[in-house]
């Protein structure tokens, strides 16, 4: 019959083994090297306008594009249409373009979420 250890003795053997591995300098060195490499990789990545633009959700990007188009309309429409209603109409068009940009951007966000689910 094999020499079977009691549960208490098995626990003590596992504890001793864990203590030995915790004191192993190779394990600590590997952990340190892994963390240092990850930190260096994180620092090496440059921040570019394209990467920043890519992190913004499509809804906000759509709102910004709609707002910029609306501002363009606000500049051009009063020049082309000589009326006292030109500026209020331009403001209304700007609001419509802003909402349209958000709606289209949200639809792109939903599409991306569906891609991640499948």
DSSP at 82: -
105: pLDDT strictly greater than 90: yes
2: pLDDT strictly greater than 70: no
Q: What per-residue string of b and e applies to 20-48 under the rule 16 or more CB within 10 Å gives b? A: eeeeeeeeeeeeeeeeeeeeeeeeeeeee
What is the average pLDDT across 68-95?
93
pLDDT per residue over 45-56, tens digit each?
777 888 888 888
Q: How many Å apart are CA 36 and CA 43, to the nearest integer?
A: 11
DSSP at 45: S
Closest of 97, 91, 88, 37 to residue 67, by C-alpha = 97
Higher pLDDT, 41 or 67: 67
Domain ranges of the chain: 7-44, 50-117
Strands of the chain (E only): list them. Answer: none
């Amino acid at each position: 019959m094999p020499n079977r250890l009691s549960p208490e003795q098995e626990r003590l053997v596992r504890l001793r083994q864990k203590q030995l591995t915790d004191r192993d300098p190779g394990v600590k060195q590997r952990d340190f090297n892994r963390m240092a490499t990850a930190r260096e990789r994180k620092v090496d990545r440059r921040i570019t306008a394209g990467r920043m633009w890519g992190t913004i959700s499509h809804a906000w990007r759509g709102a910004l594009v709609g707002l910029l188009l609306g501002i363009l309309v606000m500049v051009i429409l009063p020049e082309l249409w000589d009326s006292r209603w030109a500026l209020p109409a331009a403001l209304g068009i700007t609001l419509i373009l802003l909402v349209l940009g958000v709606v289209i951007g949200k639809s792109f966000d939903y599409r991306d979420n569906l891609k991640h689910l499948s």
